[in-house]
């Protein structure tokens, strides 16, 4: 591309964005964020219902059973996203268990069936939004989460067969030392692939085949070799030498936490100690145990000292961390984790617009606050709303 063509392309993008901001619903969001205003919050049930309703719209808009990748100011609704549809399945199953409305169970089934329809012959799952022929390790793991959840609920063998095919592909492409280098983002190994080890362990739990446990343990051990005394892992980012988003930090910690429940006690305790250490450092750094909501603002990315000065927050990462901390509270009843999680959830509730007439915005969680932040800029990714709903469901089910 010539320099002139590149400049034309940039100008075209700016013009498209400018046109999109002329929409009253988009302009309202922009004005609110530039003024630092938040939305009025309501009870958890209202916010949860709005989030689920938005995810339903995101599924309906595709017409195929998969869930649209999200809503963008300039391009509108995105194509269905195999990766995130996979783990949204569990969200709908959990919501169904709360309100006992079969619609949500049926929606989860349609998601799982669509995932089977688009699964590659190798067993891998498509990478990226839309339909293509490139399998990706991380995406494959996330869909296994949905398939094993569906099998556990329905005992329908087709979901287990799909999960086993996917897990077998992951084992075939795994490096000898437990990491994944091929079929990965940027073709580099990532510490957040612990969220691939976790779904492999869900296959092990059903099949009792040791090869799955062995493969998952290898990845967890490889990942644990990167941790320092502050609970920091050096390869959590999408790209080498970048500071990781709270999104991928939380992926790493959640994968470790969930995997620990399937592992032997000594290794389990070692993992829990690391996850707690990382969490305590984040919480103390940003005063998240303080009830003053004005102090709650996690930078979008963090460095090895759990520090950074980003002027935006990655709301997806905020929701994911709230989930981790609620789970840690359930383990040892340390109220630091509970208070921090609830404060983050309240902050996220204030980011959810419940009055917009735009169906792409109403009930959704933005990628960033402010909306022009560097993570999923000008967009509402479906996974941000999914993790927000998960946090609310977990809080509702939390045992005191």
The backbone torsions φ and ψ at residue 26, rounded to the nearest 5 degrees and listed phi first, read -70, -40
The backbone torsions φ and ψ at residue 289, rounded to the nearest 5 degrees and listed phi first, read -85, -5
Q: Look at residue 223 in the predicted model and tell me its pLDDT.
A: 98
Q: Look at residue 309 in the predicted model and tell me its pLDDT.
A: 81
The neighbouring-strand residues paired with 70 are: 381
Q: Look at residue 387 in the predicted model and tell me its pLDDT.
A: 98
- Of 250, 247, 347, 343, nearest to 300 by C-alpha is 247
Distance CA 197, CA 372 (A): 33
Distance CA 41, CA 21 (A): 25
The neighbouring-strand residues paired with 71 are: 77, 380
Q: Confidence band (pLDDT; 50, 70, 90) for 6?
A: very low
The chain-wide mean pLDDT, for the chain, equals 92
Query: pTM of the entire structure?
Result: 0.93
For 375-396, what is each residue's pLDDT tens digit?
999 999 999 999 999 999 999 9
CATH 1.50.10.20 region(s) of the chain?
A: 81-225
209 contacts: CB under 8 Å, gap ≥ 6: 203
Give the pLDDT mean for 129-158.
94
pLDDT of residue 129 exceeding 50: yes
CATH 1.50.10.10 region(s) of the chain?
A: 230-394
- For residues 140 and 196, the answer to whether their CB atoms sit within 8 Å is yes
Q: Look at residue 36 in the predicted model and tell me its pLDDT.
A: 85
Distance CA 249, CA 247 (A): 6
What kind of fold does domain 230-394 have according to CATH? Glycosyltransferase (1.50.10)
pLDDT of residue 296 exceeding 70: no
For 16-41, what is each residue's pLDDT tens digit?
555 566 677 898 898 898 998 889 99
299 contacts: CB under 8 Å, gap ≥ 6: 246, 308, 309, 310, 311, 312, 313
Helix (H), strand (E) at residue 25: helix 24-34
- For residues 337 and 325, the answer to whether their CB atoms sit within 8 Å is yes
Q: Which CATH number is associated with domain 81-225?
A: 1.50.10.20
Give the pLDDT mean for 184-212.
97
pLDDT of residue 2 exceeding 80: no
Q: Confidence band (pLDDT; 50, 70, 90) for 399?
A: confident
Q: Before 370, cis peptide (omega within 30)?
A: yes
């Amino acid at each position: 591309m010539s320099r002139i063509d590149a400049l034309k392309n940039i100008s075209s993008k700016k013009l498209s964005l400018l046109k999109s901001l002329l929409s009253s619903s988009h302009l309202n969001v922009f004005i609110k964020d530039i003024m630092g205003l938040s939305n009025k919050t309501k009870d958890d049930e209202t916010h949860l219902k709005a989030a689920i309703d938005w995810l339903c719209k995101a599924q309906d808009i595709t017409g195929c059973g998969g869930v649209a990748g999200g809503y963008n100011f300039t391009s509108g609704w995105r194509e269905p996203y195999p990766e995130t549809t996979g783990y949204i399945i569990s969200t709908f199953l959990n919501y169904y268990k709360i309100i006992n409305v079969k619609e949500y169970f049926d929606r989860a089934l349609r998601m799982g069936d669509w995932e089977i329809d688009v699964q590659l012959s190798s067993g891998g799952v498509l990478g990226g939004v839309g339909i293509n022929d490139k399998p990706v390790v991380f995406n494959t793991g996330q869909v296994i989460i949905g398939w094993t959840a569906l099998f556990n609920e329905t005992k329908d063998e087709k979901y287990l067969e799909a999960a086993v095919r996917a897990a077998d592909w992951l084992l075939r492409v795994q490096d000898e030392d437990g990491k994944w280098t091929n079929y990965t983002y940027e073709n580099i190994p990532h510490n957040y692939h612990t969220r691939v080890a976790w779904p492999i362990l869900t296959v092990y739990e059903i099949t009792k085949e040791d090869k799955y446990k062995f493969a998952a343990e290898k990845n967890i051990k490889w990942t644990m070799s990167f941790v320092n005394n502050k609970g920091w892992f050096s390869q959590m980012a999408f790209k080498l030498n970048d500071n990781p988003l709270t999104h991928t930090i939380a992926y790493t910690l959640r994968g470790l936490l969930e995997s620990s429940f399937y592992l032997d006690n000594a290794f389990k305790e070692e993992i829990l100690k690391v996850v707690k250490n990382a969490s305590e450092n984040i919480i103390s750094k940003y005063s998240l145990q303080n009830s003053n909501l004005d102090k709650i603002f996690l930078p979008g990315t963090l460095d090895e000292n759990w520090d950074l000065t980003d002027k935006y927050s990655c709301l997806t990462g905020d929701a994911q961390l709230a989930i981790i901390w609620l789970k840690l509270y359930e383990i040892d009843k340390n109220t630091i984790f509970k208070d921090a999680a609830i404060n983050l959830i309240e902050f996220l509730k204030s980011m959810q617009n419940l009055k917009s007439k735009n169906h792409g915005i109403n009930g959704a969680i933005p990628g960033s606050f402010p909306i022009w932040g560097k993570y999923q800029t000008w967009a509402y990714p479906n996974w941000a709303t999914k993790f927000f709903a998960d946090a609310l469901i977990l809080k509702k089910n939390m045992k005191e």
